[in-house]
Every structure is written in C-alpha cells, then in structure tokens.
Amino acid sequence: MDQTANPRPTGLQAPAKPPLTVLLAGPRGFCAGVDRAIKIVELAIERYGTPVYVRHEIVHNRFVVEGLQAKGAVFVEELDEIPDDGQPVIFSAHGVPRSVPAAADARQMLYLDATCPLVSKVHREAERHFAGGSHILLIGHAGHPEVVGTMGQLPPGAVTLVEDAEQAATVQPPPGPLAYATQTTLSVDDTAEVLDVLRRRFPELSAPVKEDICYATTNRQAAVKAIAERCELIVVVGAANSSNSVRLREVAERAGCPRAVLVPRGRDFDPALADGLRTIGISAGASAPEVLVEEVVARLRERFDVTIEDVTVAEEKIIFNLPRPLRTPRTATVE
C-alpha cells in the first residue's frame, strides 16, 4: 500500500493551523498628501544635505518619522528649537497657522511647505468666506494640528470651533453671515450629524464649494464599511494620534463589526485576538505604510492558515505636485 499518498499523522507533525479569512479593505494606507509630504522631506535631504528640520511629525506615524530621522531629518515641535544654521525647515502635512511662515520669514529661514493641498484648500475657503464677511464655524477636534493651522489662517475671533453635535446645538456665533469648514479627516457620518444640527439652527449657513473631508478619508471609511458586517474583528493599522486612523476604528464598529482595534504595527498586534474567529478585516490609516499591514498579516500567518481577500471600493489615481523648489529641473535635450 502506498503510504505517501495519504500519510498518517505522526507525533512530530505540527498541528494544522486553523483557517482564517482576512479581508483587506481597499483603499487603505498612504494617500497622495502623505506620499507628497514624505517625498518633500526625502528630496530636501538630497538637495540641501542634513540636517533638514521638520516642524511636527511630517505625518502621524512613528515608523515614517523614525525612517526619516535615520536619513537625517530632525523633528521639532516649534521653530524656536531650530538653530540658525541655514538648513531648511519643512512644515508637516497637517498645515500651520500663518504665524509659522511669518516667523520663518522673520528669521530668513528657508522653508518648504508639505501641507497637503487639500488642507490648503480648506484654508483658502475659510479665507474667502471671511473676506466675504462671514464668521466661520470650524467642525473639528480641539488641539489637532490641522485645526490649529486652519484657525490660524484668520485673525483671533474669526473662527469658532464646533467639536460635535452637542456643541452644534449650543454654539453662539456672533450675529451676521455664517459659513462652515471642516477638518479633512473627520468621520463622514458624524460630520453629517453636526451639519444637520447647524443647518437647522442656521439655515443660511454657507458651505464650502467642494467637500472639506478629503477623498482619502471618505474612501477609507467606505472600504471599512464595505467589510464591517462580514468581519468578527477589524484591525486598523495606524497611530493613536492619527485622526483619520482613529476614525476608521470607530467607523468599523459603528458599521456592524463587533470589535475593532487600532495597532501601530505588527509587533504590537497579538494574533491570538483572532482565536476562534473565521473572518477578520484589515485597513490602514492614510499615514500608515503598507509594510506595516504586511507585518500584521505575517503575525496572523504564524498562527492561522490565512486566506486573503481584497475588497476594493474605489480606485485612487490622485498625485499632487511637489513644491516648486523641489521639482526636478527639466533636462535640456540636444539634437
């Protein structure tokens, strides 16, 4: 009898791993604004040598920050931590108040602005409404650098922050025309709720020409919603200070997944969380590199027989231009 065709289990064989289906939400991870911001730091190091200073984490991800530190980037929270050594400073993707480039100009510092163009768009809209005589209601989270940056585009008192539906119900803006703006990385559903309350109270409230919540935030939330009901657990790869990543975790549970966890990277993820489960999902915030998603999958493979299924709800083709000083000069062709 041919024993090899159907080998008997021996005591030495590893027990079969339990099967686990992993739904990978798409889009996930890096957006065009994060990609551009990281490139700005890398190209600045190439062009100007080290150190290149970066005001605030270029994007909210330790792995990205540590990678850039290894290449010669020095991260600071404020400009006054930077010596006058002639080296450039880069402003993070989240944007800065006007006082920051003003202070850099006053010190004749060379600066490069890695503010995401979609955050800059919110700044310009807020300015436009203010120039038209409106008071601005900014929907966002107090203390987040993007909110600090957006409020800092306008004089003190021009913007009132509204954090949630409760505040929307009680906020007392000054009399006169009103417009709203939002942080780019909010929950689409929470923001709709806040706006319902504001519109009921202030029917003349002017809106941005184009939605402030960005395409990347919207798509990543839609992708998580698409897998939530099929998943017994969703792992969101991202940092605790990353607004869009934190929102993805919340969206997952609200959309019907019984449990969602936020993990910075694979080594912080305990695959035993998936014990006894058949299907889990993975997504990643806009500042989380794909290699960190791969780490989580690798941790799962240590314990389970993993089958991957991609669930992609949107294609993203957006690429943003680099700031002018970093664009590669066109090479002249000689014929």
- Span from 27-35, 95-103, 104-112, 124-132 in contact with ligand SF4 (CB under 6 A): 27-35
Cβ distance 287 to 64 under 8 Å?
Answer: yes
Q: Does 239 engage in binding with ligand SF4 (CB under 6 A)?
A: no
Q: Are strands 89-91 and 111-113 parallel, antiparallel or unpaired?
A: parallel
Q: Does 285 engage in binding with ligand 0CM (CB under 6 A)?
A: yes
What part of residues 34-63 is at the interface with ligand SF4 (CB under 6 A)?
34
Sequence letter at residue 292: L
Check the CA dihedral 237-239-245-249 and report its sign.
positive
Residue with tokens 């990205």: 64
Q: How far is the CB of 249 from ligand SF4 (least distance, A)?
A: 16
Q: Which residue is nearest to ligand SF4 (CB)?
A: 33
Q: Does 92 engage in binding with ligand SF4 (CB under 6 A)?
A: no
Q: Which residue is nearest to ligand 0CM (CB)?
A: 242
Sequence letter at residue 249: R
Q: How far is the CB of 117 from ligand SF4 (least distance, A)?
A: 7
Which of 87, 182, 184, 219 forms a contact with ligand SF4 (CB under 6 A)?
Answer: 184
Q: Are strands 279-284 and 89-91 parallel, antiparallel or unpaired?
A: unpaired
Q: Does 182 engage in binding with ligand SF4 (CB under 6 A)?
A: no
- Annotated catalytic sites, by residue? 146
Which of 100, 116, 138, 235 forms a contact with ligand SF4 (CB under 6 A)?
Answer: 116
32 binds, among ligand 0CM, ligand SF4, none (CB under 5 to 8 A by kind): ligand SF4
Cβ distance 221 to 211 under 8 Å?
Answer: no
Cβ proximity to ligand 0CM, 134 vs 287, nearer residue: 287
- Span from 30-38, 123-131, 304-312, 321-329 in contact with ligand SF4 (CB under 6 A): 30-38
Which of 45, 89, 119, 223 forms a contact with ligand 0CM (CB under 6 A)?
Answer: 119
113 binds, among ligand SF4, ligand 0CM, none (CB under 5 to 8 A by kind): none
213 binds, among ligand 0CM, ligand SF4, none (CB under 5 to 8 A by kind): none
Q: Does 244 engage in binding with ligand SF4 (CB under 6 A)?
A: yes
Q: Does 173 engage in binding with ligand 0CM (CB under 6 A)?
A: no
264 binds, among ligand 0CM, ligand SF4, none (CB under 5 to 8 A by kind): none
Cβ proximity to ligand 0CM, 94 vs 135, nearer residue: 94
20 φ/ψ angles, rounded to the nearest 5 degrees: -145, 125
Contact residues for ligand SF4, defined by CB under 6 A: 31-34, 93, 116, 118-119, 184-185, 214, 216-217, 244, 286
Contact residues for ligand 0CM, defined by CB under 6 A: 33-34, 59-60, 93-94, 116, 119, 146, 184-185, 242-245, 285-287
